[in-house]
Structure formats: structure tokens, C-alpha cells
Structure 1
Amino acid sequence: MSINPIITATDLALIIQLAVAPVFLLAGIAGFLNVMSGRLGRIVDRARVVGLRELRLTDLEQKDICQRELRILWRRSKITNWAIGLCTAAALLVCTLIVSLFVGGFWKLHIGGLIIGFFVLALVFLIVALMLFLKEVQLATRTLRIAREFSVDEGS
């Protein structure tokens, strides 16, 4: 393996072309992170409201409903944290992939296998994060049913 740091403008243009697709993936991951962090903020806000409500209640049945919702909110926050962590790891792998493209192209290193590994691992992390996101949305729907129970119980 020879290291030849001389690179032509054509070589550089090709490397930049190769790096564009991962950059778009990185932008998509950033958007997804934005959505998930917004959801996490809502979960935390809702947990505060439910926790304060539970403290003021005297009816044991209504307290139980609040505690069930808090348990689900806690699960939702843990799942969302995992999804955020996996998305962040995927983004870091994509950044590493882009750097590897430039370094490998500049020094003419044969690191195609490494680059493929970064890309595949980033996509696996992203797939798992999306599955966790789906699970969190399902839990949010379940929470809506519990909140409806509370409002029906509270109105009677």
C-alpha cells in the first residue's frame, strides 16, 4: 500500500461526488433527530402534568390511572432516548464514512470494505431507531386511551 498524497482536481471532484449521498443521509438523520427530540420534550412535559395531577388527587382509582400513564410515559422516554442514541450513532458513522472517503481518496487507500461497513452499520442503527420510533408512537396511542379513561372517570 503506497501513500501518494498528490491528488488532482478531477480526483477531488469524484470524491466530493461520492460524499454527496452520505451528506443527504446525514441531513435526513438530523431531521429525524429533531422530530424525536421534540417528542421527548412533549413526553417530559406530559409527565410533569400527570405527576402534579397525581399529587393533588385523593381518589385511589384516579391515582392509579395517573400512575399507569406515568409508567407508559417513562417507557416512552426510555424508548425515545434509545432511538435518539442510535440515530446519533448512525450520524457519527456517516460522518466517519465521509471522512474516510476523503482520506482514502486523498492518499489512495483501499478502504472500500471499511466504508461499506460504516454505511451498513449506520443503516442498521437507523433501522432500529425507526423501529423504536414506531414502538414509541404505539405507546403514545395507548396513553391516549388511558387519558380518555381519566377524563371519563373525572366527568362522572
Structure 2
Amino acid sequence: MLLAPPSADAIASVIELAVAPVFLLVAIGGFLNVCAGRLARIVDRARAMEPVILAARGAEHDQLVEEARLLDRRIRVVNSAITMAVLAAVFICLLVVLLFVTGLFQVDLASVIALLFIAAIIAVGSSFTIFLVETRLATRMVRVPSRLLFHEAED
């Protein structure tokens, strides 16, 4: 049995439904750009620290190694945020495809579409939460020591 080709109105309706998820894709793309920029800066800082760590001794060496460990952790955390954001984007792409399949072939995939949307929002929320962890790590890294905040110059 052949299906009748969908009408232009049916296709227009599917396109209207697909527009909102596509805007979410654009937002995720912007977020991925922010994450990639942060990752690049962290990696650059870690690479710049390598010769300094190798040349340092004593307490300075220990402090630099601790900073390098924190940079390594931040790299892993940002990568996790990127992974979750990309996963959300993949879910949204699948959702848009299924919207078109539903509209063009009159197949009822409403439950699958709803579950994909829920999964995408959970992945986006997870990505934002992981990103918050990374920004907290970065803040901890650049805190000004209290010995400097309350330092007074000698007369």
C-alpha cells in the first residue's frame, strides 16, 4: 500500500514544529563554543607550566604541581560538559528527524519524541551543572591568598 504524498501544509506544520528544537541546537552550539574556549585556555596554561614545574624546586615546585593537578581536573570536567552538550545536540537532531518521519509517514512516534526531548533537556542540564563545577574549580584556583589581602608594607 502506497502512502499519499504529504501536502505542503503538512510539511509546513512539521517545519514549524522543528523550529524550536533547532533554536535549542543553536544555543547548545554557543555553549559548546564557550566550553571549547575555556578548554583551550586551560590546555595552554598547562603547557606553559610544564617547563616552569621542571625547573622549580621546593615549596614553589609543590605549589605548581598542585596547580597542574587542578588544571588536569578542570580539563576532565570541561570535557565532560562538552560530552553532555554534544549528547544533547545528538538527541535533538534525532528528535527533529523523528518529527519529520512522523509528519511525512503518519507514524505515531510521540512517546519516542517526548523521551528524546526529556533526555536532551537532562543532558543540557547536566552539561550546565558540570560547567558550574568547572567554574568553581577555576575560582578556587585564582583566589587571592589572605596573606596578600591583609599584607601591610613595612615602614
Same fold (TM over 0.5): yes
The answer to whether the 8 Å contact 1:5/1:106 transfers is no
The answer to whether the 8 Å contact 1:3/1:108 transfers is no
Question: In structure 2, what is the equivalent of residue 113 of structure 1?
Answer: 111
Q: CA deviation at 1:50?
A: 1.9
For 2:123 and 2:4, locate their aligned partners in 1 and report how far apart those are by CA, in whole Å: 33
Which residue type is aligned with residue 103 of structure 2?
Answer: G
Q: CA RMSD, aligned part only?
A: 1.4
Identical amino acids, percent of aligned pairs = 40
Question: In structure 2, what is the equivalent of residue 52 of structure 1?
Answer: 51
Question: In structure 1, what is the equivalent of residue 39 of structure 2?
Answer: 40
Task: Kindly provide the CA deviation profile for residues 9-51 of structure 1, in whole angstroms up to 9, marking residues without a partner as x.
Answer: 1101100000000000000000000100110000101111222
For 2:90 and 2:3, locate their aligned partners in 1 and report how far apart those are by CA, in whole Å: 27
For 2:2 and 2:82, locate their aligned partners in 1 and report how far apart those are by CA, in whole Å: 38
Instruction: Check 1:52–1:106 CA distance in 2 against 1; reply closer, same or farther (3 A cut).
Output: same
Q: CA deviation at 1:6?
A: 1.7
Question: In structure 2, what is the equivalent of residue 92 of structure 1?
Answer: 90
Question: In structure 1, what is the equivalent of residue 134 of structure 2?
Answer: 136
The answer to whether the 8 Å contact 1:104/1:110 transfers is yes
Structure 1 residue 82 corresponds to structure 2 residue 80: yes
Instruction: Check 1:64–1:114 CA distance in 2 against 1; reply closer, same or farther (3 A cut).
Output: same
Structure 1 residue 18 corresponds to structure 2 residue 25: no
TM-score (norm 1): 0.89
For 2:75 and 2:2, locate their aligned partners in 1 and report how far apart those are by CA, in whole Å: 48
Which residue type is aligned with residue 108 of structure 2?
Answer: H
TM-score (norm 2): 0.90
Question: In structure 2, what is the equivalent of residue 70 of structure 1?
Answer: 68
Instruction: Check 1:3–1:55 CA distance in 2 against 1; reply closer, same or farther (3 A cut).
Output: farther
The answer to whether the 8 Å contact 1:80/1:133 transfers is yes
Q: Which runs of 5+ in 1 are unaligned?
A: none
Structure 1 residue 61 corresponds to structure 2 residue 94: no
Q: How many residues align structurally? A: 146
Q: Which runs of 5+ in 2 are unaligned?
A: 149-155
